[in-house]
Structure 1
Amino acid sequence: MNKSEFKWPITIYYEDTDAGGVVYHSNYLKFFERARTELFRHHGVSQQVLLEKSVGFVVKSLTIDFIQAARLDEHLIVETFITEIKRVSLTFCQLLVNSEGKVLCKATVKVACIDNSKMKPIAIPSFILSEISCDR
């Protein structure tokens, strides 16, 4: 696994499900957001560090494909891959995978880097790029 790949385990709790016992659709976005946060943290770039440096990431675009429902008490993995690094944006491919390796949900998320104090796009700082860039 190179620096652009990250796997984060999750368990589906009652609070994640709807009346039918399947994960409510908006909760998939929460799982993916948390996995992106944990990818950064894994590489030493915590939310606190970003706040202190007035750097943020905002979702610019998102596509999501719900393939099969996740259910209560399932143990799943969110696989996160950085597929594109540009001057002010990152693109992620994220998969929610069950214990048999079946992809239940897939998302492509593009985030833009901003200066939190000005709410304007900025180049991704070098301290972030050096931590998340692929090992090649």
Structure 2
Amino acid sequence: MASKGATHSTDIRVYYEDTDSGGIVYYANYLKFAERGRTEFLRDLGHDHRAMAQDHGLGFVVRRCLVDYLKPARLDDLLRVETRLTRVHGAKFEMAQYVLRNDTILCELAVTLGVVDASGRPSRLPPHVRQALVGVCGVQEEGKG
């Protein structure tokens, strides 16, 4: 679990299905790796997708994603996805993510997640979920958003 101000890490192995014919990871698969990292981050905080849907009728959607591809990953590489919460707003939160091989950054992502109800409308995070994100991750809450 991420400690206060810490970065959460998830290990990902590159499989054949993740690569092109040359054994290089297809660019869109970095988005899937990042999704797995965010999912494990939230799960370790005790607020996984299933619990949010069942307990609160809420889900998370990607509102914005900026990606910088720096170096290629290859078949059978063991990658580490690092995820760090950077901001919490009323109905969204922002994360910085990095995909690394050893200590080399291969891909950087800045992701904004929106919180939505079952109809897809924006919704505020429940107070205890907001508190977990703010408290454990050591970020400041920002204005309503």
Q: Distance in 1 between matches of 2:127 and 2:79?
A: 33
- The TM-score normalised by the length of structure 2 is 0.87
Shift of 1:119: 1.4
**RMSD of the TM alignment (CA)?**
1.4
1:56 alignment partner in structure 2: 59
Query: 1:51-74: per-residue Cα shift (whole Å, max 9, x none)?
Result: 112111111111100000000111
2:121 alignment partner in structure 1: 120
Q: Distance in 2 between matches of 1:135 and 1:96?
A: 22
1:68 alignment partner in structure 2: 71
1:16 alignment partner in structure 2: 18
Q: Distance in 1 between matches of 2:67 and 2:23?
A: 21
2:109 alignment partner in structure 1: 107
Shift of 1:3: 5.7
Shift of 1:132: 1.9
**Unaligned ranges ≥5, structure 1:** none
Shift of 1:122: 0.9
Query: 1:26-83: per-residue Cα shift (whole Å, max 9, x none)?
Result: 1100000111011000011122111112111111111100000000111110000111
For 2:129, the aligned partner's letter is: I
Query: 1:8-42: per-residue Cα shift (whole Å, max 9, x none)?
Result: 01111111101110101111000001110110000
**Unaligned ranges ≥5, structure 2:** 140-145
Q: Distance in 1 between matches of 2:69 and 2:13?
A: 18
Equivalenced residue count is: 134
Q: Distance in 2 between matches of 1:119 and 1:76?
A: 33
Query: 1:73-132: per-residue Cα shift (whole Å, max 9, x none)?
Result: 111100001111111111111000111x1100001010111112x211011111211222
1:87 alignment partner in structure 2: 90
Percent identity, aligned pairs only, is 34
- The TM-score normalised by the length of structure 1 is 0.92
